[in-house]
Amino acid sequence: MIPGEILRNGLGALLAFSLLGCAGKHLGQSRLPDLPETVPGYSALCAAKWQNPEKTWRARVAVAFLAPERIRLEVLDPAGNSRSVLIATEEGALLLDPPRRTFRLYSSASQATTDLVGIAAMPQSLAKLLLGPAALLSAPECGGSATKVLQSERHCPMAGGGELLFPAGEVQRATWTLPGETALELWWSSVNAAERSVPAWLEIRQDSPSVLLHLETKEMRFSVPDPQIFSLSAPAGFAASGIGENL
């Protein structure tokens, strides 16, 4: 499955658990939709690249999000089959390894990403970051307007703690701080916040340890996913697995 070193080296592993098979088996390039006024849910298919000084890893990534705090992240192999799945809600998280038919439950979604990738962030944060600066800056907790001239830096609280800091006048880059963790630098493709456009790509950079994560959104559909795909109950026939195993 995913090499064990990816699971041990931080942010890249978050991507390794972020694919949803129901999004399809091909990465057809299509025009991304504009953001609706509200986003009750969406599904997306991405191409991803994770890089550290020793190696580069690529995968297809699918994401299903159901507001306010439910996300399903799944890895697809070249044939479009699920390789691993992380489901997170307000109540906790479930990690599935379909090839081995094993699972692990977490009472805290942030604890799942802490153990698996070394970053104490809620998995739901990724779904919101993919929507881009227009969605983030127009949220009530971030000031509620993405169209006004940014005279000063903007602070946007994130789920589970931490915040995004947008420098004055900037909508294309931000710094993501997490309590007690290394700050991450975020970059989006050129976006028009006033037109509420979805960015073509998101890039996350971490200095220590050095990690570069690049997500290119190929498809996005603003439709509400079936709530049943966010169940924290392991499928029949799956056995509990220890976190120390090579998932």
State pLDDT tens for residues 209-224.
Answer: 777 888 899 999 999 9
pLDDT of residue 245: 37
| Total number of domains in the chain | 1
In a domain, 79, yes or no: yes
Question: Residue 154 sits in a domain of what CATH number?
Answer: 2.50.20.10
pLDDT of residue 235: 92
**Which residues span the domain enclosing 96?**
4-240
In a domain, 109, yes or no: yes
In a domain, 245, yes or no: no
> Taking all residues of the chain, what is their mean pLDDT, rounded to a whole number?
78
In a domain, 246, yes or no: no
CA quadruple 157, 164, 169, 213: dihedral, nearest 10: -150
Residue 11 pLDDT grade (very low, low, confident, very high; cuts 50, 70, 90):
very low
In a domain, 247, yes or no: no
